[in-house]
Structure 1
Amino acid sequence: MNYIKHLNAAFHRCYADDRLRPGHVSLYMALFFYWNLHRFAEVFYANRTEIMKMAKIGSRSTYHRLIKELSEWEYIEYLPTQSPARKTMVRLYHFRTTDSTVTGPTGTLMQRYCPKNVPPTLYTKQNKQYKLSEERKPKNEIEVIDFFKRKNWPSLDAKKFYNHYQGVGWKVGKAPIADWRAIAGNWMLKADEIKKTAAMKTVAKNGDHLMTQNQKDYDEPL
């Protein structure tokens, strides 16, 4: 049993089946997970409590409805038992793929779906360059200054911020910036830390005039 080919075929069949709902797909994947744990046995024990937890199904009635529908639609074979001494078993049908078709348990052929209108990715392997949308970087320096003013941040810091990231192509290291406003917030946090550190160094260098080593007698009147 080929793990990848089976899942590919199952996903293609799920795509083409309008009867399925998210609960069906979730339950099928949970059953597949336990089938894998049982090393793809012909039949395996379906522990309802564990499978419901894995599939995120909170109702027993929903579980029984979904598993019976999967059985009716020939995704699985549900083998319930009325005897408390016997365990409820499940069999998963084998799905397989060829180069152009998907074959189901009854031998019916389904055309493999290949999407035509694939949205362009942000990263192209050919030129190894990221394509940034205009929303991920400011339009110009004025937009940055206006943003800093709304945050009550100095305009000088806005110009420094814009010039720095304009010079590096609006990247952090090699990764493109996803949100320049968030980066601006980090820029100001670091600027405040630098100012505080500089102030502490100045105090340490010049001495704190509020501190003294002289012993005072506080019993004496001022």
Structure 2
Amino acid sequence: MNYIKHLNGVYSQFSKDNRLNPSHISLYIALFQLWNYNRFPNEFHINREELMKFSKIGSKSTYHRCIKDLSHWKYILYSPSHNPFKGSRVKLFQFKTSDSQEMDLNYPISEQALVSNTNINKQNINFIKLEAIAKEKLILDFFKKEKYPELEAKKFFNHYQGIGWKVGGKSKITDWQATAKSWMLKAPEMNLSVRAQSRTNDPNALPLDHFQDNLHVNQNKRYDIP
């Protein structure tokens, strides 16, 4: 199992599938991680509470809708269980990258080579990187939809990626779209402050905070002038 090619293939498919929303993608990533932990079996049992925690989905109805959608759209094969003592089963189809970025939904997972334990840490690091790439793609698409510059989207992603997607460095962001819209509203203020600071050329000026209330007051006052 070449998980890099698989993730590249599935991300390519995500970008072309307009039916998907962030909850679908988050749930698929959580399923992939469990599949990875289980060393890519043909199918494996899942626990709803565990998956909701991993995918950050807080609503049971959203969870059931998304996992049924993923199964109906042939990203996975979902076999629900009505036995409270036995979890539902999931099978992930293989996606692979080719020159034409096509996917293969019918390739039997059981024929894939398993990943050795020595590569698990390396896989997890690369998985985090790929997850960040997917998140950045969502943000770029969102800013484009809102008709906002790509540069602002990258600033937004780099800022919150660097502080662990937390508000004020403390609480986790629960609605990144709302945070992004707030960023868009405050961006003109920030740009004006940057231009004002560049005019002062004050080497002792403090760095600007994107969310501070900048009044654009000239700090280099001359009290000898009326």
Question: TM-score normalized by structure 2?
Answer: 0.50
Say which SS state the counterpart of residue 182 (structure 1) adopts: coil
> Given the superposition, is the C-alpha separation of residues 35 and 143 from structure 1 closer, same or farther in structure 2, using an over 3 Å criterion?
same
CA RMSD of aligned residues (A): 3.0
Kindly indicate whether the alpha-carbon contact (under 8 Å) linking 2:10 and 2:95 is maintained by their aligned counterparts in 1: yes
After TM superposition, give the deviation of residue 62 of structure 1 in Å: 1.1
Relative contact order higher in (CA < 8 Å, ≥ 6 apart):
2
Per-residue CA deviation, residues 129-175 of structure 1 (Å, 9 max, x unaligned), is xxxxx99987998523xxxxxxxxxxxxx4xx38xxxxxxxxxxxxx
Flag structure 1 segments of 5+ consecutive residues without an equivalent.
108-118, 122-133, 145-157, 163-179, 184-222
Match for 1:143: what amino acid?
T
Is 1:75 the equivalent of 2:100? no
Match for 2:77: what amino acid?
E
Corresponding residue number in structure 2 for 1:49:
49
> Given the superposition, is the C-alpha separation of residues 141 and 106 from structure 1 closer, same or farther in structure 2, using an over 3 Å criterion?
closer
Say which SS state the counterpart of residue 96 (structure 1) adopts: coil
* Higher radius of gyration, 1 or 2: 1
Q: What pairs up with 1:38-117 in 2 under 5 angstroms?
A: 38-105=38-105
Per-residue CA deviation, residues 13-47 of structure 1 (Å, 9 max, x unaligned), is 00100000110000000000111000011111111
Say which SS state the counterpart of residue 102 (structure 2) adopts: strand
Write the distance in 2 (CA, Å) between the matches of 1:141 and 1:49.
52
Higher normalized helix content (fraction of residues): 2
Flag structure 2 segments of 5+ consecutive residues without an equivalent.
108-149, 155-190, 209-226
Question: TM-score normalized by structure 1?
Answer: 0.51
Per-residue CA deviation, residues 95-144 of structure 1 (Å, 9 max, x unaligned), is 1111233223158xxxxxxxxxxx799xxxxxxxxxxxx99987998523
Corresponding residue number in structure 1 for 2:36:
36
> Given the superposition, is the C-alpha separation of residues 139 and 85 from structure 1 closer, same or farther in structure 2, using an over 3 Å criterion?
closer
Match for 2:58: what amino acid?
G
Corresponding residue number in structure 2 for 1:210:
none
Higher normalized strand content (fraction of residues): 1
After TM superposition, give the deviation of residue 60 of structure 1 in Å: 1.0
